[in-house]
Structure 1
Amino acid sequence: MPAEPQEWADATAAALGAALGAAVDDGQFPGGVLVAGQIGAGRAVAACGTVAPECGAARPDEHTRYDLASLTKVLATWPLIGTAVRAGLLDLDAPLHAAFPQLPSPGRELTTAQLLSHTAGLLPRTGLARYEHTGRPLVEHLCAEPLVSAPGAHHRYVDRGFILLGLLLPDLLGHPLPALADTLWRGLGLTATAYGPLPRDPGLAPTEQRLLGAPRTWGVPHDPSAALLGGVAGHAGVFSSAADLAAYAEHLLGADGPLPQWFALSRRPRTAVEPGLHRGLAWLVTADGSVAYHHGFTGTSLYLAPRTGRYLVLCTNAVYHGWDRARLAPLRALALRSLLPGG
């Protein structure tokens, strides 16, 4: 018999919290927080460690803010693209030049769906520094670069597509990206979610110290391309809390409305990533369609199980000691298994 919603949330938070605590005790990163919940029922929170040594004895909780890194893609760019599609301003399967005739080739022939599903064939290395001081808009540089594969032929996770979409959204929707995102988040009641820069305080987790003796990255994006763009980009730059991410998950898993409908469309498989895993529009989707999720490079994750209404949020600053993908791999795998049928 399936566990009752609160029972499931409590048991899942306890199991994942133990795994999170083991990683913190092993010195892999300072601390973190996770939320397990089910729409229409309760949530359970587990937190471990400290926010960071710079924050003294402050311990993380569901209101601690973390650098979301690539969760920006699904917290800002993806829902705003949905807004543009619903308004008839953008056709997912039309070439970009239908809405932006000024764009150069070959990028002007790409579709929004290809950019969202990471099948556009764009260069895998972002390298925005090469475009500094050229006097040419970045959006033109991104579109003028040669493709590395035929559009739609291969899945290759890159940031360029979402950077491009983030640059195009203001022209479509008539306001700067931070203003568009802020209006979206406030409408959903997400009060801790924002683009930086943010002031340093014990409720905001710092990330990496890139050079010995240099200031630690704190309140500005860890992602170098987002930093070059002033902290506001379509692929990275957003900060948020586990509580806000849980609230966002509940909006996406809702029974009706524009956002749940966009999520339902977006989690349809578009391209294979690896055995048992597909990419929809932005989201990774298990082969059986039971879970859609996305990760952030800094150590954040958001998992959604539409059939059960369950979700998991993970917020850490796992890059605090430099990045090693093995640090979070077991915890992320456990989180995914806990949402799969029979998990």
Structure 2
Amino acid sequence: MIRQLTSLCLLLGATAAIAKTEIDVDHLRHIADRVHEAHEAGEFAGCVVAVGTSDGLVYLEAFGDRQVIPERIEMTTDTVFDMASVTKPVATATSIMVLFERGALRLTDPINKHLPEITGEHAGRIAINDLLTHRSGYIPDNPIGDYQHGVDESWKRLFALEPTDKPGTKFKYSDVNFELLGKIVERVGGEPLDVFAKKSIFEPLGMKETGYNPGPELAARAAATEPRNGFASGEPSLVGEVHDPRAALLGGVAGHAGLFSTAEDLARYAEAMLKGGVPVLHRKTLELMTEPLPKSDPSFGRSRGWDKGSSYSSNRGQLMTAEAYGHGGFTGNAFWIDPGLDLYVIFLSNRLHPDGKGSVNDLAGRIGTIAAAAAEADR
């Protein structure tokens, strides 16, 4: 049986009062049932699940282990996770929106306005908006070999990429988009992405355990992922080091991956967004960031930096409202915020440990459905 550690699980009464509705916390008991099933099927070694509202956490539990080889270490609610692509909205897109409302850039700016190294006919036709919504025409990933000759050469090769589709016409999820956005943050903000995000997002929200390249204290309680060169290499699993190979070769700081965080820190971010974005963003800016795009095709299922209901949203609760926005991460994470229910759902796991074969999107989506049902109980 999977070990389960409960830090906060308000299951003593039938409901917990919150600002806009009531959470049927008894219904949240079903989360543990679904987690146990997936764990027994070998989908992950351990996970942390958090559910909350603008008033704070109502459910926080740790299950299983954050590492099983070479030694077993129990999962705890303060475990630090490699956020993988959750980096895209939380660090990079939010930083872009901060710069936007400061008047430092426009979302309609062509990317070569801020990255003049990008030349050619396409350079003036790809806007920041296109990068944020994955409609730039760039390929999902350029070859890993482009990154193996040093950071400066990596950027030269990124800047030299040509889109394979006409910009602004087709959705194609691409890490390249957010690598370039991270560089735009650096150029316009005047500081490296990790420094800018820390000062402009994480520190104002009290997210003291969120950032890139975690130091020894945070790395010591990080969840394991997998060896850098795969399990066949015989190397130890990565712990507190970024899993994404391109982010690693860029020094651990990139716009598409590299962020580390905890469930409670992500909860602080979510609570601020449910309250309108303050102190990081103003309400109108947050609404602009999370509106469905393009407006002519709401079925597209994306917003600026976030998923809303696209082909990538199997980790979305099926009872969430049209206002919900979220994102997943390759290492086993899902993070959804639903203003329509005054609800957020955080699922963080080490699905790549110990064998690289785990799969958690379906489980994360089921947990989101349970949480949304609990929020809808009195309606």
TM-score strictly above 0.5: yes
Measured in 2, the distance between the counterparts of 1:197 and 1:65 equals: 9
Kept in 2: contact 1:13–1:35 (CA 8 A): no
Kept in 2: contact 1:58–1:203 (CA 8 A): no
Unaligned runs of 5+ in 2: 1-13, 311-320
Matched, 1:146 2:162: yes
Q: CA-atom RMSD, angstroms?
A: 2.8
Measured in 2, the distance between the counterparts of 1:40 and 1:145 equals: 45
Kept in 1: contact 2:16–2:25 (CA 8 A): no
Matched, 1:314 2:347: yes
Matched, 1:208 2:226: yes
Measured in 2, the distance between the counterparts of 1:268 and 1:275 equals: 9
> What is the TM-score with the length of structure 2 in the denominator?
0.81
Aligned length: 340
Q: What are the Cα deviations for residues 140-166 of structure 1, in whole angstroms up to 9, with x where unaligned?
A: 432322211111111111100001111
Question: Helix, strand or coil: the match of 2:23?
Answer: helix
Unaligned runs of 5+ in 1: none
Measured in 2, the distance between the counterparts of 1:266 and 1:156 equals: 19
Give the one of 287, 295, 298 matched to 1:264: 287
Matched, 1:284 2:307: yes
Q: Offset of 1:40 from its aligned partner?
A: 1.6
User: Cα–Cα, structure 1 residues 91 and 51, in superposed 2: closer, same or farther, change >3 Å?
Assistant: same
Task: Single out whichever of 11-20 and 303-312 deviates more from structure 2.
Answer: 11-20
Matched residue, 1:17: 32
Matched residue, 2:175: 159
Question: Helix, strand or coil: the match of 2:209?
Answer: coil
Matched residue, 2:251: 230
User: Cα–Cα, structure 1 residues 194 and 142, in superposed 2: closer, same or farther, change >3 Å?
Assistant: same
Matched residue, 1:217: 238
1:319 counterpart letter in structure 2:
L
Measured in 2, the distance between the counterparts of 1:45 and 1:334 equals: 16
Q: Offset of 1:27 from its aligned partner?
A: 2.6
Q: Offset of 1:51 from its aligned partner?
A: 1.3
Q: What are the Cα deviations for residues 73-103 of structure 1, in whole angstroms up to 9, with x where unaligned?
A: 1121011101111121211112123334443
User: Cα–Cα, structure 1 residues 9 and 195, in superposed 2: closer, same or farther, change >3 Å?
Assistant: farther
Matched, 1:188 2:221: no
Matched residue, 1:92: 107
Q: Offset of 1:193 from its aligned partner?
A: 0.5
Question: Helix, strand or coil: the match of 2:131?
Answer: helix
Measured in 2, the distance between the counterparts of 1:134 and 1:86 equals: 34
Kept in 2: contact 1:253–1:309 (CA 8 A): yes
Task: Single out whichever of 98-107 and 230-239 deviates more from structure 2.
Answer: 98-107
User: Cα–Cα, structure 1 residues 201 and 137, in superposed 2: closer, same or farther, change >3 Å?
Assistant: closer
User: Cα–Cα, structure 1 residues 296 and 246, in superposed 2: closer, same or farther, change >3 Å?
Assistant: same
Q: What are the Cα deviations for residues 281-340 of structure 1, in whole angstroms up to 9, with x where unaligned?
A: 111114962311100100011111112210000110111145457x21321221343437
Matched, 1:334 2:357: no
Q: Offset of 1:255 from its aligned partner?
A: 3.5
Matches within 5 A, 1:59-138: 59-105=74-120, 106-133=122-149, 137-138=153-154
Matched residue, 1:173: 189
Question: Helix, strand or coil: the match of 1:51?
Answer: strand
Q: What are the Cα deviations for residues 196-241 of structure 1, in whole angstroms up to 9, with x where unaligned?
A: 1543865211101313311211111111111111111001011110
